[in-house]
Structure 1
Amino acid sequence: MRKAIQYMIISALAFTLLNVFVKSLNNFSVYQIVFFRSIGTLFFTLPFLIKNKISILGHQKTLLVARSLAGLISMTLFFLSLKYIAMGTAVSIRYIAPIFAALFAVIILKERIKPIQWLLFIIAFFGVVILKGFNSDIQIQGIVFAIVSAIFAGLVYIIIRKIGNKDHPVVVVNYFMVISAILGGLISIKGWVNPKGQEWLIFLSLGIFGYFAQLYMTKAMQQGETNQIAPLKYLEVVFTVILGLVWFNEIYNIMSLVGILIIITALSLNLIVHKK
């Protein structure tokens, strides 16, 4: 259990550093950021698939492409939101994705959601309302980007459920990264800006941090009880708020922090209720 907690903390730190580096690349096109984020991870996924003789094309190509496109839209909009609002705010809103995943599960998978879960979802969304309603400095454009990003992230969860165990998890990630690299690269050509000096290092590190964030989160889930470990992923919000304050001098008023706390608490309780 201790090792699982350590893995989840490492994962949260890696996700946080990814957010920080994306935020620091504010002068570059979001599509160029998506391209480098994807290329970096492919250096890990492709060799793994080749070494273990796993089919790169997978078995459920339509679902794999759909998951990749939904993930690409979600990732692009989240990176875009970081250009307009504080990192902690953007990450908190992105984490309301389970609300939309639940709605898609009811519509597409015909699942039933417990009444207590709906209540917790409403409370979490109320946290988002507090974030915007009591902070006039937050740009509505950034909030919209983050919410739509969460909607598509919720759709990703459902598509992955549909894929199930019929395709290896690394195949799913590899599809996502290949399609993101191709589309991100093509769209970014027109506004491409050549990185200089340490900017190259930051760009190349995006895929590395993204890969290890996912890897250690998976390891944590495999070694610990899900209902005890999963809420720890919200440490990313805490770490991101702290680094945002220190690194970018981001400002959070009391009500903003209250809104973030409401979102984290409601979604953590939902995870526990869902697993029970």
Structure 2
Amino acid sequence: MKLIQKTNFTFTMKQKGILLMLLSALLFSAMQIVINLTGDLPLMEQVFFRNIVSVLLCYPILKRKGLSIFGEKHQQPLLFMRSGFGLLGLVSLFYAASRANQADITILSKLSPFLVTLFAYLFLKEKIARIQIPALIIAFGGAFLVANPAFQSNLFPLFMAFLCAIFSGITFTLLAYSKDKADVITVIMHFSSFCVAVSIPFMVMNFVVPDLKEFVFLTLIGLFGSFGQIALTYAYRMAPASEVSIYNYSGIVFSMIMGYFILGEAISHTSFLGGALVVLASLLTYRYSPQDAN
């Protein structure tokens, strides 16, 4: 009788961070597809549902673990900064996506990983490997080809999309800085509760009762967004921001594939080429960046 020898495979912290970033990108792409299907529901109503689901998911987890719901007193300045910039990024993205050409919004909002690497270098003193510079350029070029932007939208929504990239870059950098300073679920609970509290007054003034299909879509937005946020937050806890942020570009490829199969959006030759460049940049970064000890 043959004995089957089992091989134990363990992931490094960096590999876990990469996988979580890819999962986060997939979930956020799924969320954006559902947003496209929700119709003309008010922006702040979508923001509310996006975050109330997170609150309902995080609260029992924190209670079971016996952790602080909103963080300790000395953590509040950092948590409020993260929550404030996160809300600004969320609102600006929703605003831009409903008022401008989607290709333009994609290319501008996907500047955030590049900004994360820059902010991590400037403020967190994280080193940038030589390969990351050309890899970022390749990834940005791939994002440009996938988005295939026409830049024919009104200026203000495009400006809001660029602000989204800036706010997201600051938020992700704060996530990296808050490593080991607050529990991941506490950070998400703080952010989601902050977004819910701010969105309620605006939602009440312009509330639209969703039908059953719209309610299901709103719930899915909350679920995809919540689990995407959890994966994203853990990704920045597992590895340096400058090493994992580039994998956020995979969301463009995920959106391209889901857009084709779910929304019937055509995939151009430039999209295939851009997707290949994004994958190439990710492989270059993974293969030639300094390896973590973990």
State whether TM-score is above 0.5.
yes
Tell me how far apart the structure 2 counterparts of residues 117 and 153 of structure 1 sit (CA, whole Å). 20
Residue 139, structure 1, aligned to residue 158, structure 2: no
Counterpart of 1:209 in structure 2 is 224
- Of 106, 124, 132 in structure 1, the residue corresponding to residue 121 of structure 2 is 106
Tell me how far apart the structure 2 counterparts of residues 198 and 161 of structure 1 sit (CA, whole Å). 37
Q: How does 1:49-68 map to 2 (within 5 A)?
A: 49-59=62-72, 60-68=75-83
Counterpart of 1:16 in structure 2 is 29
Tell me how far apart the structure 1 counterparts of residues 234 and 126 of structure 2 sit (CA, whole Å). 28
1:41 to partner: Cα distance: 1.1
Tell me how far apart the structure 1 counterparts of residues 134 and 10 of structure 2 sit (CA, whole Å). 32
Q: Count matched residues.
A: 273
Counterpart of 1:48 in structure 2 is 61
Counterpart of 2:3 in structure 1 is none
Higher deviation after alignment, 4-13 or 18-27: 4-13
Counterpart of 2:6 in structure 1 is none
Supply the AA of the counterpart residue of 2:174.
I
Counterpart of 2:257 in structure 1 is 242
Higher deviation after alignment, 244-253 or 39-48: 244-253
Tell me the TM-score normalized by structure 1: 0.78
Tell me how far apart the structure 2 counterparts of residues 80 and 92 of structure 1 sit (CA, whole Å). 16
Q: Percent identity?
A: 25
- Of 26, 31, 46 in structure 1, the residue corresponding to residue 39 of structure 2 is 26
1:101 to partner: Cα distance: 1.4
Tell me how far apart the structure 1 counterparts of residues 117 and 94 of structure 2 sit (CA, whole Å). 24
Counterpart of 1:183 in structure 2 is 198
Tell me how far apart the structure 2 counterparts of residues 58 and 150 of structure 1 sit (CA, whole Å). 27
Q: How does 1:261-272 map to 2 (within 5 A)?
A: 261-267=276-282, 269-270=284-285
Q: Determine helix, strand or coil for the equivalent of 2:131.
A: helix
Tell me how far apart the structure 1 counterparts of residues 124 and 245 of structure 2 sit (CA, whole Å). 23
Counterpart of 1:163 in structure 2 is 178
Assess if the C-alpha contact under 8 Å between 1:93 and 1:128 holds in 2: no
Assess if the C-alpha contact under 8 Å between 1:92 and 1:264 holds in 2: no
1:156 to partner: Cα distance: 1.2
Higher deviation after alignment, 35-44 or 107-116: 107-116
Distance 1:219 1:113, change over 3 A: closer
1:221 to partner: Cα distance: 9.4
Cα deviation code 1:1-53 (max 9, x no counterpart): 69979988765553332121111123012221111000011111111112221
Aligned CA RMSD, in angstroms, stands at: 3.8
Supply the AA of the counterpart residue of 2:209.
N
Counterpart of 1:75 in structure 2 is 90
Higher deviation after alignment, 193-202 or 237-246: 237-246
Q: Determine helix, strand or coil for the equivalent of 1:54.
A: coil
Tell me how far apart the structure 1 counterparts of residues 276 and 210 of structure 2 sit (CA, whole Å). 37
Higher deviation after alignment, 38-47 or 153-162: 153-162
Assess if the C-alpha contact under 8 Å between 1:72 and 1:180 holds in 2: yes
Tell me how far apart the structure 1 counterparts of residues 93 and 207 of structure 2 sit (CA, whole Å). 20
Supply the AA of the counterpart residue of 1:197.
L
Structure 2: gaps spanning 5 or more residues: 1-8
Assess if the C-alpha contact under 8 Å between 2:58 and 2:185 holds in 1: yes
Counterpart of 1:38 in structure 2 is 51
Q: How does 1:94-133 map to 2 (within 5 A)?
A: 94-130=109-145
Q: Determine helix, strand or coil for the equivalent of 1:189.
A: helix
Tell me how far apart the structure 2 counterparts of residues 198 and 103 of structure 1 sit (CA, whole Å). 42
Assess if the C-alpha contact under 8 Å between 1:74 and 1:149 holds in 2: yes
Distance 1:218 1:77, change over 3 A: closer
- Of 192, 200, 204 in structure 1, the residue corresponding to residue 207 of structure 2 is 192
1:123 to partner: Cα distance: 3.2
Assess if the C-alpha contact under 8 Å between 2:112 and 2:166 holds in 1: yes
Supply the AA of the counterpart residue of 1:139.
S
Assess if the C-alpha contact under 8 Å between 1:96 and 1:125 holds in 2: yes
Assess if the C-alpha contact under 8 Å between 2:96 and 2:161 holds in 1: yes
